[in-house]
Structure 1
Amino acid sequence: MADKITPARRSENMRRIKSKGMKPEMVVRRLVHGLGYRYRLHRKDLPGKPDLVFVSRRSVVFVHGCFWHQHDCRDGRVPSSNREYWELKLARNVERDRKTRRELEAAGWRVLVIWECELNQLEDVGQRLRDFLDAASQPS
């Protein structure tokens, strides 16, 4: 199936997509804050510049868009137009995510990924966050 908009318009749409402060990230930030946890944002000294960093708990949270990070859901599919380009680009994103996670874990950080599609069940996401962050404060 062909793209429904012109290549110039598609390019403009993609150029406007930002990496910080998007709606899914803001939803998670409000949720975490409401649960009583405090965090830092996008620490440049950590691999992958995690979306939320809980320094005292040595834990990080990434909020991944299903399309950009190729989640196994309806929104994680590769577009049918310009398929070669998208398969290569999105595969690089997935590999970068794996590398980032390995580096963080090797440095002693705990990593949680929250997918955009999971935000439809905020109570479940809130419980996962609580479990993840509370486990970090338990003695080993």
Structure 2
Amino acid sequence: MSLIGGLLIGASTALVLVLNGRIAGVSGMLGSLLERDRSDTAWRVAFIVGLLIAPLVYRNFGGTLPPVVLDAPLGLLMVAGLLVGFGTRLGAGCTSGHAVCGIGRGSPRSIAATLIFTATAMITVFVTRHVLGV
């Protein structure tokens, strides 16, 4: 199943690039929906809606979704979400834009951003689990 999912992600990002000339970066799509006077809102909304309903479609065709388990307090999750949002603005994009699309295009900036995302995630997990014991 993960191979099929990966192929669908790759195909959708390639189609967005070929058909719209845009990078399929989810944080950029969401951020641009908050701006006024956008003439290209329809495809962005369709992409985001597709991300949200895809698990429901998968389940309706007999797929089994894994259970959602949150092992952290709600406050910590909210702070983490805000930090991720801040990081995507600071890094001029998120993992979908840089890692999935940018590396595929051979963008040095995206390769550097993805290495920084990954290193930061590894350090964060180490510190929170092994140093702070959260």
TM-score by length of 2: 0.31
Name the structure with the higher strand share: 1
Name the structure with the higher helix share: 2
